[in-house]
Structure 1
Amino acid sequence: MEEKSRILIIGGTGYIGKLIVEASLRSGHPTFALIRTSTVSDPVKAKTVEGFKSSGVTILNVRGFLHDHKSLVSAIEQVDVVISTVGASQLGHQVKIIAAIKEAGNVKRFLPSEFGNDVDRARGVGPAKTLFKIKAQIRRATEAEGIPYTYVSPNCTFGYFLETLSQELYATAPPRDKVTIVGHGNTKAVFVDERDIGAYTIKAVDDPRTLNKILYIKPPKNIYSFNEMAALWEKKIGKSLEKEYVSDEQLLKQIEESSAPIDFYLDILHSVYVNGDQTYFEIEPSFGVEASELYPEIKYTTVDEHLDQFV
């Protein structure tokens, strides 16, 4: 049996990072997590790190994190695959990961932090446009250095978009009385369970079919329009919701008048539900592959199944 790649996750205590660490362990990969020394001073993250250790993760503490080039190179020299799941504020600093990978010279796959829309095909209009641009720049920098890559594009996560029916940013459950629908409500979007993102990502790291490609996660049972998503929820709770439609013009005005992070969230909604940035194009073999087609053995969680827990 071929030996499994050694995987380093940078940003492993974060929202998606934790699930990728767990998926790597489940798949039997020697798993490493690059942790800032300061992380252990956060009681929640310290508990996560201790859980990693007890599960067999090799913890690599770096005082300067991405800014300590020598330590970063030393960490990368120990692995075969580097997966970055750093947050928004660190996205641009991934050039330091690229430089360290280039110097180490041993990495056979790099997965930069994306885990959302395909940034080469997304069309944000406000703060999201800036984020997409930074992620695209990291793609170009990776390619320019000749580093083997896979870009993971899972579209909308359940936690941020499905569980609230894409209502207010800080909502905690689907609405029971009124739903605000962005645009005309017929544009299709894609929803994916965060644990499935972890599973598909780890499947891809040793797969030659995903080398230098975008891995799109578009499970066929999880492609819904806003109107279809609302109708499914109404059926589950046995009640019709009052519907308010927000036009493109109204949403653009809200984005312009809102402050962070609300403006960013609204801009993502515009990208997904008005522009249709997740479904307006076909996945061509020249640039991408689709995860649920490549790995039919993974039983992904459907939108229908996930919403049951909130009934």
Structure 2
Amino acid sequence: MAKKKVLVVGGTGYIGKRIVRASLAQADHITTYVLQRREMGSDIDKVQLLFSFKKQGARLIEASFSDHNSLVDAVKQVDVVICTMSGGHPGHPGSLLLQLKLVEAIKEAGNIKRFIPSEFGTDPSRMGHALEPGRVIFDDKMVVRRAIEDAKIPFTYVTANCFAGYFAANLSQMETFLPPKEKVTIHGDGNVKVVYVDEDDIALYTIKTIDDPRTLNKTLHIRPPENILSQRELVEKWEKLLGKELEKISISQEDLLTSMKGLDRFGQAVAGHLYHFFYEGCLTNFQIGEEGEEASELYPDVKYIRMDEYLKLYL
């Protein structure tokens, strides 16, 4: 069987670099390509990372989002495109809508067997009610989805819920990515279930979808059952590792929403996301329907990282 040719766009980013590594690890049946954007030349860290991938066997394809023909030429060299371009951060959206240029290139090239656009977080199709200003990221993702489907491009959407580095390592606190060792803020009663996923596991599950007919034109929901936890359950895991109980300070839904008024745009967006996750329960208050599949059920061979194991890194 011929190797799949996979192009990663945004391969030096937070999730992108993990997807490149997961793809390179499957070198027996995947040839990994990484888009080398001409605009990247002024960022030394990204340049060095890109060429470290080349040393590991990746092939670099130079192209620019300001040059349609270069994108078409890049796409024509591969079978699968995975885009991991950053959406910036809540309240300060980045380049998600640049993917519309990529959609046009894929449509013109006409050879792509699967396109995985840049999502990897909360399912945007369920977030039309999201609070401003964080809602813009979900809205932009839906614009891209509609363009993909209108162009009849084969796709898989990957929703991975809460990145562990952003929401588990800090016990779901604002303004830090480190776990507290004395006191912790509990959202509401702390018993709403959310889903925490290690970022390397997100990459591995994503690579597994690329030629799986079960995920074609569907959404892959990454919801590992042992990582469906309440905030209190996550805190308990940390307390057990730490060997002490933390002081717990609860913040009500009303107080969280009131506090948003005094925050900058970024802070407002983060608080809005916390509201949807930990008060509304948007990550777990629905059943996966016929349009989706659950990753750990499809790929039981993946030994995903449990959160107690994940948190050991921070001791």
Q: TM-score, normalised by structure 1?
A: 0.95
Alpha-carbon distance, 1:129 to partner: 1.2
CA contact (8 A) 1:9 1:84 kept: yes
Describe how 1:38-49 pairs up with structure 2 within 5 A. Answer: 38-49=39-50
Q: Any unmatched runs of 5+ in structure 1?
A: none
Measure how far apart 1:208 and its partner are: 0.2
Query: 1:30 maps to what in 2?
Result: 31
Q: Which residue of 1 aligns with 2:259?
A: 254
Which secondary structure does the structure 1 equivalent of 2:136 belong to?
helix
Q: 2:3 is matched by which residue type in structure 1?
A: K
Stretches of 4+ aligned residues off by more than 3 angstroms: none
Aligned partner of 2:67 in structure 1 is 68
CA positional deviation for 1:38:
2.9
CA contact (8 A) 2:134 2:269 kept: yes
35-44 or 75-84, which deviates more? 35-44
For 2:130 and 2:182, locate their aligned partners in 1 and report how far apart those are by CA, in whole Å: 30
8 Å Cα contact 2:163/2:199 also seen in 1: yes
Distance, in Å, in 1 between the alignment partners of 2:201 and 2:97 is 26
Is the 1:124–1:270 Cα contact (8 Å) retained in structure 2?
A: no
Matches of 1:107 and 1:192, distance apart in 2? 29
Deviations 1:220-257 (A, max 9, x none): 11111111111221122121111111111221222333
In the alignment, which residue of structure 2 is the partner of 1:143? 149
The separation in 1 between residues aligned to 2:182 and 2:130, in whole angstroms, is 30
Give the count of matched residue pairs.
306
Shift of 1:109: 0.6
Kindly report which structure 2 residues correspond to 1:153-168, keeping only aligned pairs within 5 A, or say none.
153-168=159-174
Summarize the alignment of residues 84-99 of structure 1 with structure 2, pairs less than 5 Å apart. Answer: 84-88=83-87, 89-99=94-104
CA distance in 2 between counterparts of 1:125 and 1:275 reads 12
The C-alpha deviation readout for 1:125-175, integer Å capped at 9, x for no partner, is 122211111101111111111111000001011110111111123x24210
2:118 is the counterpart of 1:113: yes
CA contact (8 A) 1:40 1:49 kept: no
2:270 counterpart residue number:
265
Which stretch has the larger CA shift, 96-105 or 228-237?
A: 228-237
Task: Determine if contact 1:92/1:138 at 8 Å carries over to the other structure.
Answer: yes
Match of 2:296 among 288, 292, 296: 292
Structure 2 SS opposite 1:244: strand
Amino acid at match of 2:304: Y
Q: Tell me, in whole angstroms, the C-alpha distance in 1 between the residues paired with 2:74 and 2:260.
A: 41
The more displaced of 259-268 and 65-74 is: 259-268
- C-alpha separation between the residues in 2 aligned to 1:275 and 1:205? 32
Whether the 8 Å contact between 2:165 and 2:177 is mirrored in structure 1 is: no
Measured in 2, the distance between the counterparts of 1:252 and 1:61 equals 45
Moved more, 7-16 or 176-185: 176-185
Residue 59 of structure 1 aligns with an amino acid whose one-letter code is L
Q: Residue type of the partner of 2:78?
A: V
1:306 alignment partner in structure 2: 310
Q: Distance in 2 between matches of 1:246 and 1:68?
A: 49
Cα distance in structure 2, aligned partners of 1:23 and 1:77:
22
Q: Which residue of 1 aligns with 2:20?
A: 21
- Aligned residue in 2 for 1:181: 186
* Alignment deviations for residues 80-112 of structure 1 (CA, whole Å, 9 cap, x no partner): 111110111110121111111000000011111
Alpha-carbon RMSD: 1.2
Find the counterpart in structure 2 of residue 281 from structure 1.
286
List per-residue Cα deviations over 1:270-296 (Å, max 9, x = no partner).
121111111000011x21001111111
Superposed, 1:94-243 pairs within 5 Å as: 94-122=99-127, 123-169=129-175, 171-243=176-248
CA contact (8 A) 2:183 2:249 kept: yes
CA contact (8 A) 1:218 1:292 kept: yes
Q: Gaps spanning 5+ residues in structure 2: where?
A: 88-93
- The TM-score with structure 2 as length reference comes to 0.94
Q: CA deviation at 1:58?
A: 1.1
